[in-house]
Amino acid sequence: MTMAFAASAMTFPAIRACVALASALLLLACGGGSSSPPPVARHFTNFQAASVVIGQPDATSGEPNQGGSTSPHGLSTPGAMILAPQGQLLVSDSGNHRVLLFDALPEVSGASAKAALGQSSLQAGLPFVSDKRLDRPAGVAVGHGKIAVADWGSNRVLIFDQMPLEGTMPAAKVVLGQTGFDDSAPACAANGMDGPNGVIITPLGQLIVVDTNNHRVLVWKQVPETMPAPDPDLVLGQATKAHCVPNDDLQDGTPDTSLGMPIATARTLMSPRDVWSDGRRLVVSDALNNRVLIWTSFPSDSFQPANIVLGHSDFSNTRQNDGDRAGGATPTARTLHHPSGVHSDGTSLAVADVGNHRALIWNTFPSANSASADVVLGQPGFDQVVITDTNLDGIADMPTERNFGAPNRVLMTADSLLVSDGAFNRVMVFRKQ
């Protein structure tokens, strides 16, 4: 018997019952029906309060290591943060020369870390140069079974194969920027670094390092796994791996100027700090040019120009809080002052705007120069700049759950934004509302 014959043999009431049942099942499968309203979109809001503080017992404390010695629950000048695929949170605790591991994103303030990279215990906090130790780590990345740490004080990036465990001290397998694990001198060379700050491992496997004091971004098409490590495949901000002068579009060894003022181009950098990429797009914070650069497709050549600039209306301007060259110094939703951290969840973009003591959020990924941010955290409005000015009297207050001292890194998750507040030695967790 064919299906057509079976259907034609059914009575009309039976057919009507089957149609009703199919409609009900379709509604359930699609989340329809009056009992399942569509979810309400949640967003961050201006001057929102943090829900959780990491590194301090509460939102009004700000001393390094909570006023004591190195411990599992204190921080000293924290930097980058990243969530591992298994849900662990890693925080670069620069002043304690370690990277802390939390089992998960803390739900309450004052949470304790479970393990650390760079130190023999959670009570140790001195710098050292070796395959197991760190000196002022700034950036941390996780991906493709690797952990990469930008070890700023030792002018190198260390690559580990395993997460730290309580009571263990993992050794790095690869070092970039130095010829050996005991070396730390800065260098402008294909295999050298000077103050690396940001690092990311993209979903497609590229390793990207922000080599801050060499005014460049280094790109490996895949994470190096052996020693001696290969040279980077691409360099941004410079035409070759032997040039390291800021804003040197002509590559003549001299920074570009106009009327005595520094000028930039779409392919030069001056003290870049951080990087984000999904393997297709690339975002770099260009701190001393007071801007953020966006490549709308992943660069395929060295010295490739960016497509979009945030903080300015054009690529040559370098002035802080003066995106339209009108001579203003008051911050707006379009301007930046020494931006540091950048991160995206693939849809929204967040920037730590250090000099303005704020974090900015674009709800949709920017697609044009000088795009306005949608949300400001850390300040009551886009035109405010005083550090921790809760009552708007122009005078700095004590730290609160709404203000920043020196926000230097950001991390976007599915429902949260993390901001590392270096001046108050804490990481603040904001939840979408």
DSSP for 152-213, please give it. GGGTEEEEESS---TT--PPPSEEESSSSTT------STT--SSEEEEEE-TTS-EEEEEGG
Q: What's the mean pLDDT in 10-28?
A: 38
The verdict on residue 7 lying in a domain is no
Predicted confidence at residue 392, as pLDDT, reads: 67
Torsion angles phi and psi, residue 213, rounded to 5: -75, -10
156 domain residue, yes or no:
yes
The predicted pLDDT at position 329 comes to 84
Of 386 and 211, the structure prediction assigns the larger pLDDT to: 211
Work out the average pLDDT over 261-265.
94
Return the structure tokens found at 373: 């941010």
Query: With 70 as the cut, is the pLDDT of residue 7 above it?
Result: no
Residue 169 near residue 116, CB atoms below 8 Å: no
Tell me what the pLDDT averaged over the chain comes to. Answer: 91
Is 279 inside a domain boundary? Answer: yes
Tokens, residue 419: 């901001």
Is 171 part of any domain? yes
Helix (H) or strand (E) holding 25: helix 12-30
209 pLDDT higher than 90: yes
Find residue 176's DSSP bridge partners: 157
Distance CA 219, CA 216 (A): 10
Q: What is the mean pLDDT of residues 73-94?
A: 98
Per-residue model confidence as pLDDT tens digits over 172-195: 999 999 999 999 999 999 999 999
Full residue range of the structural domain in which residue 152 is found: 44-431
Task: Grade residue 396 by pLDDT with cuts at 50, 70 and 90.
Answer: low
Q: What is the pLDDT of residue 116?
A: 98
- Residue 332 maps to a domain: yes
Q: Does position 25 have pLDDT exceeding 80, yes or no?
A: no
pLDDT of 35 reads 52
Q: Read off the pLDDT band of 17 (50, 70, 90).
A: very low
Tokens of 3: 């299906």
Give the mean model confidence (pLDDT) for residues 352-356: 98
CATH of residue 129's domain is 2.120.10.30
pLDDT above 50 (res 31): no
Contact 276, 344 (CB under 8 A): yes
Assess if residue 207 is contained within a domain: yes
Burial 254-277 (b: 16+ CB within 10 A, else e): ebbeeeeebbbbbbbbbbbbbbbb
Q: Say if residue 214's pLDDT is above 60.
A: yes
Task: Determine, yes or no, domain membership for 33.
Answer: no
The count of other CB atoms within 10 Å of the CB of residue 25 is 10
Residue 275, C-beta contacts closer than 8 angstroms, at least 6 positions apart: 198, 199, 200, 208, 209, 210, 217, 282, 283, 284, 285, 342
Residue 5: inside a domain, yes or no? Answer: no
**Closest Cα partner for 79 from 360, 425, 349?**
425
| Domains contained in the chain, number | 1
Q: What are phi and psi of 47, to 5 degrees?
A: 55, 30
User: Taking residues 251-274, what's their average pLDDT?
Assistant: 96
Q: What is the mean pLDDT of residues 408-417?
A: 98
Q: What is the pLDDT of residues 239-261, one digit of tens each?
A: 999 999 999 999 999 999 998 88
Which pLDDT band, with edges at 50, 70 and 90, does 4 fall under?
very low
Minimum mean pLDDT range among 21-25, 179-183, 222-226: 21-25
For the stretch 38-79, pLDDT in tens is 666 789 999 999 999 999 999 999 999 999 999 999 999 999
Largest distance between two CA atoms of the chain: 90
